[in-house]
Amino acid sequence: MDLIRSEPHSTGDFIALEDRYGASNYKPLDIVLTRGEGVYVWDVEGKRYLDCLSSYSAVNQGHCHPKILAALSEQAAKLAITSRAFRNDQLGLFYEELCALTRSHKVLPMNSGAEAVETALKLCRKWGYEVKGVAPGKAEIIVCSHNFHGRTLAIVGFSTDEGSRAGFGPFAPGFKVVPFGDAQALERAITENTVAFLVEPIQGEAGVIIPPAGYLKKARELCTRHRVILILDEIQTGLGRTGKLLAEEHEGIEADLSLVGKALSGGFYPVSAVLSNKEVMDVLHPGEHGSTFGGNPLACAVARAAIRVLKDEGMIENAAAMGGYLLDRLHDIRSNIVKEIRGRGLMVAVELHPEAGGARRFCEELAGLGVLCKETHGSTLRIMPPLVITRSQIDDAMTAFEKVLSTG
């Protein structure tokens, strides 16, 4: 019978299984990983790679951090999930520690980043109707062009990436799109029905696009003046990635709602959270929003350990220092195919000239040299190693980047 087969062993075996039984919604590099530790991962053939993607910031703390692993194992052996029908002894501690770390009033726990975004959209609409006094059904939320906030139907409805939108309509109304980094466009878009402005402090999926200095501060001023909720999607930028706990700190502002995820669990478990002031969060009442897995004891125990090691082991400070060193090393590379290098902390991108023929082949060449990164939007290499990376490890990676980019 077809169901009886030998166990897969080689890279080709595993890829064949994926191709046969899986949906074709990703185009990964043809490397099958089986183990990780710190900044390194190993494939099923035993080859070691330096991970310069960190699962899109999910493993800021490095792969399989021993303290987070211990918290996972200990909690899994005691109690994994209760649902929110009952209380558990990890949830309140998680709330308290995350609020203390981020200076937040309230936390609403979810699982994925997209769920955190959807939660924020619901919160802002409800606040708009019940507190701001927007007419029923008229609430508007402003977003930015080239945004990436997830893959749910509502979110792709306000995306400007046709690859994300095409074939999935009709979409939910109530969203306005303005150019990213343009405070004047934001001001023009605000009306009496505007309840929120949702923005990434740095656009990650778009290619590590950093807004002009002062943009977020101006956005904060506009939102305060017009009584609009400022939502910062810090799912990629937060928890140390840019050399600060949250990227908002680079401009000395505080959002009304901050969204965190990915590294909130160190990559061990899906955990996300909406961090809110009391005024917005208190519009929710029992039965109006929730998640079976959101705030479960296993998630909370893992997240508590994940944020503890970020702080206690100096990973945020290391991201700032190593990010500067990484940018310096990249700028030292002599290449006629590099259009621009940009970044903040350990969130870095190398954009190539169109004549380079796309970034994917360079990712494949880097993988051959033992370094993993991923292309985005065709012509950009995104470089986001774990925050535990050292100078010597950056030097090793830059040897590969120099070889690939200088001969491109």
Averaged over 242-252, what is the pLDDT? 98
pLDDT tens-digit map of 335-344: 999 999 999 9
- Residue 196: give its domain's CATH number: 3.40.640.10
**Which one of 312, 339, 365 terminates a domain?**
312
Locate 69 and state its tokens: 């692993």
Residue the block writes with tokens 């990010």: 323
pLDDT tens-digit map of 366-399: 999 999 999 998 999 999 999 999 999 999 999 9
What's the confidence (pLDDT) of residue 22? 97
- Whether 262 is catalytic is yes
Check 262, 268, 362, 374 and give the catalytic one. Answer: 262
Clarify whether residues 78 and 215 are in a common domain: yes
Clarify whether residues 223 and 299 are in a common domain: yes
**Distances in whole angstroms, Cα of residue 251 to Cα of each of 128, 299, 337:** 27, 31, 32
Clarify whether residues 184 and 47 are in a common domain: no
Per residue in 238-259, is it b (16+ CB within 10 Å) or e — as a string? Answer: bbbbbbbbbbbebbebbbbbbb
What's the confidence (pLDDT) of residue 408? 60
Clarify whether residues 112 and 251 are in a common domain: yes
**Distances in whole angstroms, Cα of residue 43 to Cα of each of 95, 130, 194, 299:** 37, 53, 49, 28
Helix 297-312 to helix 66-78 angle (10° resolution) is: 160
Clarify whether residues 289 and 327 are in a common domain: no
Banded model confidence at residue 249, pLDDT cuts 50, 70, 90: very high
- Whether 339 is catalytic is no
Check 43, 51, 233, 256 and give the catalytic one. Answer: 233
- Whether 233 is catalytic is yes
In a domain, 340, yes or no: yes
Rg from Cα positions in the chain: 22
Clarify whether residues 170 and 258 are in a common domain: yes
In a domain, 301, yes or no: yes
- Residue 397: give its domain's CATH number: 3.90.1150.10
pLDDT tens-digit map of 289-331: 999 999 999 999 999 999 999 999 999 999 999 999 999 999 9
Q: How many CA atoms lie within 13 A of 400 on its CB side?
A: 21
pLDDT tens-digit map of 161-185: 999 999 999 999 999 999 999 999 9
Contacts of 5 (CB under 8 A, 6+ apart): none
In a domain, 6, yes or no: no
In a domain, 280, yes or no: yes
Q: What is the percentage of the chain residues whose pLDDT exceeds 90? A: 97
Locate 274 and state its tokens: 């909406």
* pTM of the complete model: 0.96
Averaged over 269-295, what is the pLDDT? 97
**Which one of 312, 346, 379 terminates a domain?**
312
Q: What is the residue-averaged pLDDT of the chain?
A: 96
Question: For residues 320 and 244, is the Cβ–Cβ distance under 8 A?
Answer: yes
pLDDT value at 4 more than 80: no
pLDDT tens-digit map of 120-162: 999 999 999 999 999 999 999 999 999 999 999 999 999 999 9
pLDDT value at 3 more than 60: no
Residue whose C-alpha is closest to residue 247's, from 209, 214, 200: 200
CA atoms of 139 and 126, how far apart (whole Å)? 9
Is residue 183 helix, strand or coil?
Answer: helix
What's the confidence (pLDDT) of residue 8? 82
In a domain, 124, yes or no: yes
Clarify whether residues 336 and 368 are in a common domain: yes
Clarify whether residues 224 and 344 are in a common domain: no
Question: For residues 307 and 65, is the Cβ–Cβ distance under 8 A?
Answer: no
Clarify whether residues 141 and 218 are in a common domain: yes
Amino acid letter, 163: G
pLDDT value at 204 more than 70: yes
Cα-Cα-Cα-Cα dihedral sign, residues 69, 348, 178, 239: positive
**Distances in whole angstroms, Cα of residue 171 to Cα of each of 126, 146, 154, 197:** 19, 17, 7, 19
Clarify whether residues 328 and 250 are in a common domain: no
Check 14, 148, 197, 401 and give the catalytic one. Answer: 148
Strands 257-260 and 272-276: antiparallel
CA atoms of 57 and 54, how far apart (whole Å)? 5
CA atoms of 373 and 364, how far apart (whole Å)? 9
Question: For residues 75 and 89, is the Cβ–Cβ distance under 8 A?
Answer: no
Averaged over 213-229, what is the pLDDT? 98
Clarify whether residues 298 and 367 are in a common domain: no
CA atoms of 145 and 30, how far apart (whole Å)? 32
What's the confidence (pLDDT) of residue 274? 98
pLDDT value at 1 more than 60: no
Banded model confidence at residue 5, pLDDT cuts 50, 70, 90: low
Number of domains in the chain: 2
**Which one of 289, 312, 335 terminates a domain?**
312
DSSP designation for 242: T
What's the confidence (pLDDT) of residue 66? 98
Domain span holding position 105: 66-312
Clarify whether residues 209 and 96 are in a common domain: yes
